[in-house]
Amino acid sequence: MKKIDILAAPFVQEMMNTTANLYRLGWDERNGGNISYLLDEEDVKPFLDLDKVIREIPMIFDASKLAGRYFIVTGSGKYFKNVINAPAENLGIVRVAANGKSLDLLWGLENDAVPTSELPSHFMSHIARLEVDPENRIIMHNHASHLLAMTFTHEMDEKAFTRTLWQMCTECLVVFPEGVSLLPWMVPGTNEIGEATAAKMKETRLVMWPQHGVYGAGKDMDEVFGLIETAEKAAQVYTYVCAQGGVKQTISDADLWRLADAFGLTPREGYLAPRA
C-alpha cells in the first residue's frame, strides 16, 4: 500500500505550526526549547514503513518503560524558526528500541542530526505523567518570558508562586488547579534535572526551571500550549502590576473557592485559606 506523504500527517503539521508560533511569541529564541509528542503506532503507520530504520541513535537514559513507543521530537541545536520550512532537518520520528537504550530513527533528523539533548528529561516526564494520566501525549519546554522573569523577583515557594498566578487572572485556577512546581537551578540536559522534573510532574503539569524556563505536559498540543500560555499571561499581568506600584486589590481566597465550586474542581490542598 502506498504511503501518504509524511508532511501531511496531522502530528507533523502540529509540530510545524506550534514551533513557529512559539518562536513568534519569543519563547524559543535560537535553539531554545524542545517538544516531544507521543504517538500511537496507528498514527504513524499510514505514513511510514515501520520496518525501515534509517539509523540507530544511542541514549544516555534507560527508557525501557517506553520501549516500542513512537515519538516525534525536535532536534538538538535546531532553531524553531526553521522547522516550518525544513521539517525533515529539524524534527524526527523515533521509536524507542526494545532495550530502551537506543532509538530507531524512522524519519527526519537529516544530516546526522539527533534529538534534543533534553530528551532524557522529556522521557522521564512522559513516564511520570503516564503513571497519573494514561492519556498524556505532550511534553513541551520553552522560555516563556514573564514566567522566567518571575523566577528572579518572586519568592521561590511553590505555594506562594502558584497563588500569585491564580490571583493575577481568573482563569488560572480553572486551568491549573493543581498549581505550579518549582525546581532549584540545575544544569539542563542531565539525568539529574530530568529526575527532579519527573518527580514534580506526578503532582503538577507545570514545572518551572528557575532562570531558565518552563516544562508543561498534557493530552494534546492545544492543552499544553494553552496551559503554558495561561500561566505566562498571569506572569505578564504580575509584571505590569509590579511596575504600576504593586497589588492594591486581588481575587480573595473566598472568591477562589467560589470559582472552584462553579467549575467543579479542587484547588491544591493547603494553597487556599480554609473556607469561612
H-assigned helices in the chain: 10-24, 41-44, 80-83, 87-90, 119-132, 145-153, 158-168, 171-175, 191-201, 221-243, 253-263
Task: Supply 100's cell numbers.
Answer: 530502551
Cα(203)–Cα(115) distance, integer angstroms: 27
What are the φ and ψ backbone dihedral angles of 67, each rounded to 5 degrees?
A: -55, 130
146 is in an annotated binding site: no
* CA terminus-to-terminus distance, the chain: 66
Cα(218)–Cα(124) distance, integer angstroms: 14
Q: Which strands sit side by side in the sheet containing 34-39, from one edge to the other?
A: 55-58, 102-108, 91-96, 70-74, 34-39, 138-142, 213-218, 206-209, 181-182
Sign (positive/negative) of CA torsion 133, 226, 214, 273? Answer: negative
143 is in an annotated binding site: yes
Cα(207)–Cα(147) distance, integer angstroms: 11
Kindly report the number of other CB atoms within 10 A of residue 93's CB atom.
Answer: 28
Kindly report the number of other CB atoms within 10 A of residue 36's CB atom.
Answer: 24
> DSSP string spanning 12-42?
HHHHHHHHHHHHHTTSS-TT--EEEEEE-HH
154 is in an annotated binding site: no
Question: Which of the residues are catalytic?
Answer: 118
Could you list the residues known to form a binding site for Zn(2+), using ranges: 141, 143, 212
